[in-house]
């Protein structure tokens, strides 16, 4: 592998140039990609809600927390691939970057197959364990089993686009999602119209997922430089796998922990035994998912900018990227959250077909979670910064205590006493704030240690170069 990297016009230079401008150039395509991904997923619920009714919408809504729980661990490993590629490129170790690309794609294929098999076998017992509403259980199971057939494609897509973003290319993932999303919507409408069942929407999702997986793989096979993929010689290098797992495994475990706490939340919502409440929660989740996705682009920015600049020993840019991302995510989150609540009934009606009860329960979620969702954005930025520094385990522990454990304790204590939807939803913004605060403290400590260590190493190297070795005299 050639130890040079040709930078293309579509790639962003993380190490040089105006930082705020580059952050925006990076985040806007990622944000647009996320919004399209949101529309891509939300179309499932919208089409089902309109053409098949509330029970089918409840069936689709009931599966979200569980599927995220099962897939979260392995998709989280793509973070390890992204950070590893960023470090390698930032330090100009291009041979290492190529090995990481080959290892990552191979890993995504293996994990995708394993997760699909597990999901097909275990989804119904797990849905029953969650207390899924009885009238939704059969459709939920059917939907999930079909969806899990698309998991291998989902894995490959996530790993492929993570590599592209780490390389500074955020435009191609956007283009790929435009194509696959359009296919998904067309197939959704067509198949659900004919079958009037969740089978149609699941089949449409699978078809578009395999298309979305094919496109980044095709690009990686054609590009020049360190991120080129060689499908004919896929392999796993143990040292690269170890680094991916070191960073990605805690990220995956963190995703699982968040999903686990959300499963408990979903089970608490299911405990009301009201399909309208379940559907309203699902519709509200689709709307506030838009806020999350817009904010999540700053997580990827913090992760990638921190990773590459750490590799390049540019500490000032790390500090400034964290600050800029925190300011921008707060502004974006607050603005979009406020707009989503202001136009909540109109947005919820997209999924609920003007069902007054579903819209009412959806508005409760938007008030308590949508409006303060910017706190989730600040939490994500701090998490991305910590992972970019290589402190993925610290991020996991902070999230475990600040968000997951807190929510479980809250449900066991507060919800058991109060027993209202409001008492469930308010736990989210409180947990986001606590986790952000704890992560920021950890960032200050860890970044300070890294900066002092590297400055000491550079100082020692400079002294050695100045004095020379004994043999030079």
Q: DSSP characters for 84-145? A: HHHHHHHTT-HHHHHHHHHHHHHHHHHHHHHHHHHHHHHHHHHHHHTT--HHHHHHHHHHHH
Handedness of CA 409, 286, 109, 188 (dihedral sign): positive
pLDDT-based confidence at 42, cuts 50/70/90? low
Number of other CB atoms surrounding residue 83 within 10 Å: 32
* Per-residue pLDDT at 1 exceeds 50: no
* Per-residue pLDDT at 433 exceeds 90: yes
* Per-residue pLDDT at 435 exceeds 50: yes
Reading phi first (left if > 0) and then psi (alpha if -120 to 50, else beta), residue 110 is in alpha
pLDDT-based confidence at 254, cuts 50/70/90? confident
Question: Distance between CA 24 and CA 211 in Å, rounded?
Answer: 28
What's the token pair of residue 28? 């806007």
Q: Can you tell me the mean pLDDT for 109-114? A: 88
Q: Can you tell me the mean pLDDT for 69-81? A: 73
* Per-residue pLDDT at 240 exceeds 80: yes
Number of other CB atoms surrounding residue 422 within 10 Å: 12
* Per-residue pLDDT at 225 exceeds 90: no
* Per-residue pLDDT at 470 exceeds 90: no
The predicted-structure confidence for 131-178, as pLDDT tens digits, reads as follows 665 666 676 777 777 778 888 988 898 888 888 888 878 788 888 878
Indicate yes or no: pTM above 0.85. Answer: no
Q: Within 13 Å, how many C-alpha atoms sit on residue 307's CB side? A: 30
Share of the chain above pLDDT 90, in %: 15
Residue 353, CA distances (Å) to 280, 347, 361, 365, 390 in order:
11, 10, 14, 18, 46
Contacts of residue 457, defined as CB under 8 A and 6 or more positions apart, other chains included, come to none
| Sole residue written with tokens 């990552």 | 104
What's the token pair of residue 467? 């004095």
Handedness of CA 349, 355, 360, 365 (dihedral sign): negative
Question: Distance between CA 401 and CA 431 in Å, rounded?
Answer: 9
Question: Distance between CA 83 and CA 262 in Å, rounded?
Answer: 26
Window from 3-7, 60-64, 360-364 with minimum mean pLDDT? 3-7
* Per-residue pLDDT at 377 exceeds 80: yes
- Please list, residue by residue across 180-213, b when 16 or more beta carbons sit within 10 angstroms of its beta carbon and e when fewer do: bbebbbebbbebbeeeebbbbbbbbbbbbbbbbb
What pLDDT does residue 473 have?
Answer: 34
| Closest to 71 measured CA to CA, from 113, 133, 19, 12 | 113
Helix count and strand count (H, E) for the chain: 18, 0
Question: Distance between CA 128 and CA 142 in Å, rounded?
Answer: 13
Task: With beta carbons less than 8 A apart as the criterion, state whether 163 and 101 touch.
Answer: yes
Task: With beta carbons less than 8 A apart as the criterion, state whether 70 and 248 touch.
Answer: no
**Which is higher by pLDDT, 341 or 35?**
341
What pLDDT does residue 36 have?
Answer: 72
């Amino acid at each position: 592998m050639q130890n040079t990297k040709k930078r293309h016009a579509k790639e962003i230079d993380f190490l040089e140039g105006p930082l705020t401008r580059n952050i925006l150039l990076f985040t806007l395509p990622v944000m647009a990609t996320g919004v399209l991904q949101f529309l891509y997923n939300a179309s499932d619920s919208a089409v089902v809600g309109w053409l098949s009714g509330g029970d089918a919408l409840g069936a689709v809504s009931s599966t979200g927390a569980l599927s995220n729980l099962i897939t979260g661990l392995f998709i989280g490993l793509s973070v390890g691939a992204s950070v590893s590629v960023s470090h390698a490129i930032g330090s100009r170790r291009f041979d290492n970057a190529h090995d990481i690309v080959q290892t990552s794609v191979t890993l995504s294929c293996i994990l995708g197959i394993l997760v699909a098999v597990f999901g097909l076998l275990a989804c119904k017992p797990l849905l029953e364990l969650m207390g899924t509403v009885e009238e939704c259980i059969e459709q939920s199971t059917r939907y999930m089993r079909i969806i899990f057939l698309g998991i291998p494609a989902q894995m490959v897509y996530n790993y492929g686009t993570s590599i592209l973003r780490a390389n500074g290319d955020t435009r191609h993932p956007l283009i790929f999602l435009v194509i696959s999303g359009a296919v998904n919507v067309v197939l959704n409408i067509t198949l659900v119209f004919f079958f009037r069942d969740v089978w149609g929407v699941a089949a449409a999702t699978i078809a578009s997922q395999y298309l979305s997986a094919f496109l980044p793989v095709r690009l990686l096979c054609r590009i020049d430089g360190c991120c080129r993929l060689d499908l004919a010689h896929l392999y796993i290098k143990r040292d690269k796998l170890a680094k991916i797992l070191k960073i990605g495994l805690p990220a995956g475990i963190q995703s699982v922990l968040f999903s686990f706490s959300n499963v408990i939340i979903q089970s608490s919502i299911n405990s009301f035994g009201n399909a309208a409440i379940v559907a309203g929660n699902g519709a509200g989740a689709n709307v506030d998912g838009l806020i999350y996705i817009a904010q999540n682009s700053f997580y990827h920015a913090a992760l990638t900018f921190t990773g590459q600049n750490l590799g390049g020993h540019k500490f000032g840019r790390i500090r400034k990227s964290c600050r800029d991302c925190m300011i921008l995510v707060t502004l974006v989150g607050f603005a979009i959250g406020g707009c989503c609540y202001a136009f909540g009934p109109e947005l919820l009606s997209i999924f609920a077909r003007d069902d007054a009860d579903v819209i009412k329960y959806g508005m409760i979620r938007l008030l308590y979670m949508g409006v303060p969702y910017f706190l989730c954005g600040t939490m994500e930025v701090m998490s991305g910064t910590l992972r970019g520094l290589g402190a993925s385990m610290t991020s996991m522990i902070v999230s475990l205590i600040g968000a997951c454990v807190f929510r479980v304790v809250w449900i066991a204590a507060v919800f058991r006493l109060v027993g209202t939807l409001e008492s469930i939803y308010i736990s989210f913004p409180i947990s986001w704030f606590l986790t952000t605060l704890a992560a920021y403290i950890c960032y200050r400590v860890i970044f300070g240690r890294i900066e002092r260590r590297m400055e000491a190493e550079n100082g020692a190297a400079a002294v050695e170069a100045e004095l020379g070795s004994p043999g030079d005299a």
